[in-house]
A and B are shown apart, each in its own frame.
Chain A
C-alpha cells in the first residue's frame, strides 16, 4: 500500500455510551469507578463520568486499522492524554477520528490521528507508525 503525506486514510465518528464504558471496563479489567459512577466522578471534581483514556486510544487505532490492508504491520503507537471525554448518561459522546499520513520514509509511514470530542482535541501527539514493506 502506497502512502502519500497529507492523504486522509480514514475518518469516522464513533458514538460511545455508558454501556461502551462498562463493556471496556470488563474487557480491559480497568474498573476505576470514575468510568461508570457519577457520584464518584463528582467526588473527585470531574465534570462527569469519563471514557477510559485507553478506550479512546483503542478506538482511534481501530478506525485506522480498518482502513489499512489487513497485512499491514504496526510498528508503534503512542498518544498523550490531554482532555477527558465526558460521557453523558443519556446522550453518550461522539469521538471523531481523522487519520492522515504525516510522514513517510523507506521503512515506515507515520499516521497522525486527530481525535476530538465536542470540538476539543482529546489526544495529542497521537501517532501510529506502520511498516511500508
Chain B
C-alpha cells in the first residue's frame, strides 16, 4: 500500500446539483418514508427550501471522491480485493434539493494489519457558499492476495 496517499492533495469535485426527483428516488430506494424526504410542503414546514435528503444520500457525492482515489495509478488499491468496512457521516445540516455540493478528499490514514490495508478517507462536502454540510468518512479494507469474506464488497 502506498503511504504517500496520506496528505496528498485532491481537487474538489465538480459541483453536484441535488435534484428534487433524485432525492425522492433515493428516499424510495432506502425505504425512507418520513414526509420531509418527498413532500415539499412538509419540508418547507420544517424550514427547508425543498425536500430533505435521507442521511446516507451524502454517499452519492462522496462516491465521486472515492473514484478519484481509485483512479490514482499508484494507490495500490485493487478493487476486486476491496471491501467497504466502515462508514460515517458527520452533519452540519442535512442535504436539501437545490444544494450545489462539492467534495474534497483527504486520505487520513493507512494502517496495515497482516497483509490487509485499512485506508481511511474523509470527504468534506460543502455547499455553493463554501459552508460545510457533511463530512463523509469511509474505511476501505484492501485484502492481501488471499481475500476475506467479511464485510461488504465496495
Contacts of B137 in A (CB 8 A): 78
Please determine whether A71 and B55 come into contact, CB atoms closer than 8 angstroms: no
| B63: interface (CB < 8 Å) | yes
| B84: interface (CB < 8 Å) | yes
| B33: interface (CB < 8 Å) | yes
Contacts of A74 in B (CB 8 A): 55, 91, 94
Nearest CB of B to A55, in Å = 6
| B101: interface (CB < 8 Å) | no
Please determine whether A81 and B28 come into contact, CB atoms closer than 8 angstroms: no
| B71: interface (CB < 8 Å) | no
Please determine whether A81 and B86 come into contact, CB atoms closer than 8 angstroms: yes
15 A-B residue contacts at CB 8 Å? A24-B29, A27-B28, A28-B60, A28-B63, A44-B153, A54-B87, A57-B87, A58-B29, A58-B30, A61-B32, A62-B27, A76-B90, A77-B55, A78-B87, A79-B87
- 18 new A-B contacts, CB < 8 A, other than A70-B34, A79-B86, A80-B85, are A20-B29, A27-B22, A27-B25, A32-B153, A53-B87, A53-B152, A54-B84, A58-B30, A58-B54, A59-B30, A61-B56, A66-B34, A74-B94, A76-B91, A77-B56, A77-B88, A79-B88, A81-B84
